[in-house]
Amino acid sequence: MRNARPERDRERDPAPDHAVTVDGRLEIASVTKSFGTHHVLRGLTLSVAPGTTTAIVGPSGSGKSTLLRLIAGFERPDAGTIGLGGRALAGDGSWVPAHQRNVGYVAQDGALFPHLSVGQNIAFGLDASTLPDGRQGVKARVAELLAMVSLDASLAERRPHQISGGQQQRVALARALAREPRLMLLDESFSALDAGLRVATRRTVAQVLNDARITTVLVTHDQAEALSFADQVAVIRDGILAQVDSPLTVYTRPADRATAEFLGDAVLLDAWVDGTVATCSLGRVRVAQPPCQGRCQLMLRPEQIRLDDTSPVRGVVLDMEYFGPETTVRLQLAVPASAANEQSDDQRKGAETISVRHWNASTTTPGADIGIRVDGEAIAFPPDVECRTAAARGATRQDPRAPFPARGDGSRPA
Ligand SMILES: Nc1ncnc2c1ncn2[C@@H]1O[C@H](COP(=O)(O)OP(=O)(O)O)[C@@H](O)[C@H]1O
Ligand SMILES: [Mg+2]
């Protein structure tokens, strides 16, 4: 959608007729914000290139809306700076009030004025004195903005409650666009819509913002939305950004286990990493740039694990769940050959239960012994990351014993 032109191209080759493109870089540096003793943002730094979209994802309460409110100018940062297009907006003694920031903001519910018509809502943002022909000019501009968000001009006469939720969100966007913002902030703007409408509305909005080359920050807790909508995904956790990367990179190369699990389903396995090969219940698996050696935790996406009866790696089907396009198959993996002999006291160690996705539900039945293979590379995480995460959640510490006997010099994992 928004990736019709790669981000780098757009940066290198800004359209000269669009001042917003060269003007709209958002720079957030070491921003902190507390409410009383609650430290919500703790030195958050983020840069959004002009005309691109960044999605901020994170669990509820992680400070996503607070960050948008700071950018919009509804709140002041305790420390750090916020700049747009080279102009300081907040911090270091600067303060530009919200109405002078040239920033559009669309909330989750659109927040339209219920007593005004759709047209009046949109016209609210317009300065009639700057438009040709006074009232006629306003009407023409409202029609133009409605067309921009793919709504019929006849809707201008209706009240917000007389149009659908998806139409309300598009009106809210049109109202925000009326001010010709350099930066658009979308705070869970599609979350209240049901699935089909959400995708369609998001697509229209993405197209409008992309065509107008408006720098955009979208806050969402929906990982699919973040991955499909944005050029860049920023994962917020504990008041800072845990990772900022392209959608492909955050999904396939998550920086840590919590990020991996936040962005999608993850299959986690005990593993022994030697160079760039891991030995685990799925046999020998290639690992992308392992940050650890020896005992590690391995992460694969469920769609990387394929049913393949010619494979020597085996599992037993526990149960299945049919979803139409795919079936989730829960498998009990076999004890890895490398560990079976040496761990007779702990036979099940490493023989995890995993869920994989398969397109054809009719090829497996519970109890069947089936072959499995891995497509692509796995990601390794140091084992202490898991312990830290578990400790942070208040869980008991994991069994620190190695899943497989150490080989070679028996050195501890890095
Ligand atoms: N004005 C405020 N006063 C006190 N606490 C606030 C205020 N705004 C947000 N918070 C708190 O800050 C934390 C982060 O809130 P928010 O940014 O809304 O999270 P998110 O949008 O990620 O769900 C929450 O614990 C919330 O209760
Ligand atoms: Mg929020």
Ligand nearest to the CA of 40: 1
pLDDT of 360 reads: 77
Helical H segments across 116-178, by residue range: 118-123, 134-148, 165-177
Best mutation site among 31, 34, 35 for ligand 1 pocket (most ligand atoms within 8 Å of CB): 35
Q: Is 341 in the pocket of ligand 1 (CB under 6 A)?
A: no
Best mutation site among 32, 33, 66 for ligand 1 pocket (most ligand atoms within 8 Å of CB): 66
Nearest-CA residue for ligand 1 atom 10 is 35
pLDDT of 36 reads: 94
Q: Is 66 in the pocket of ligand 1 (CB under 6 A)?
A: yes
Nearest-CA residue for ligand 1 atom 2 is 35
Helices and strands (DSSP H and E) totals, the chain: 12, 21
Label residues 153-166 b or e (16+ Cβ within 10 Å = b). Answer: bebbeeebeebebb
Q: Is 182 in the pocket of ligand 1 (CB under 6 A)?
A: no
Q: How many whole angstroms from 202 Cα to the centroid of ligand 1?
A: 25
pLDDT of 48 reads: 97
pLDDT of 398 reads: 34
Q: How many whole angstroms from 111 Cα to the centroid of ligand 1?
A: 19
Cα Rg, the chain, nearest whole Å: 26
pLDDT of 377 reads: 96
The minimum-distance atom of ligand 1 relative to the CA of 60 is 23
pLDDT of 323 reads: 86
The minimum-distance atom of ligand 1 relative to the CA of 68 is 17
pTM: 0.81
pLDDT, tens only, 217-252:
999 988 889 999 899 999 999 899 999 999 999 999
Q: Count the Cβ atoms, other than its own, within 10 Å of residue 192.
A: 16
Q: How many whole angstroms from 164 Cα to the centroid of ligand 2?
A: 23
Q: Is 359 in the pocket of ligand 1 (CB under 6 A)?
A: no
Nearest-CA residue for ligand 1 atom 1 is 35
Mean pLDDT per segment of 10 residues, for the chain of length 414 residues? Answer: 42 40 83 96 97 94 95 96 95 93 86 92 80 75 87 91 88 88 91 81 86 93 90 94 96 94 93 94 93 93 92 93 89 72 48 87 85 95 59 36 35 34
Task: Answer yes or no: are the C-beta atoms of 55 and 253 closer than 8 Å.
Answer: no
pLDDT of 349 reads: 57
CB-based contacts of 239, cutoff 8 Å, min separation 6 = 32, 39, 40, 41, 42, 43, 44, 62, 63
Q: How many whole angstroms from 221 Cα to the centroid of ligand 2?
A: 9
Pairing of strands 232-237, 53-57: parallel
Q: Is 33 in the pocket of ligand 1 (CB under 6 A)?
A: no
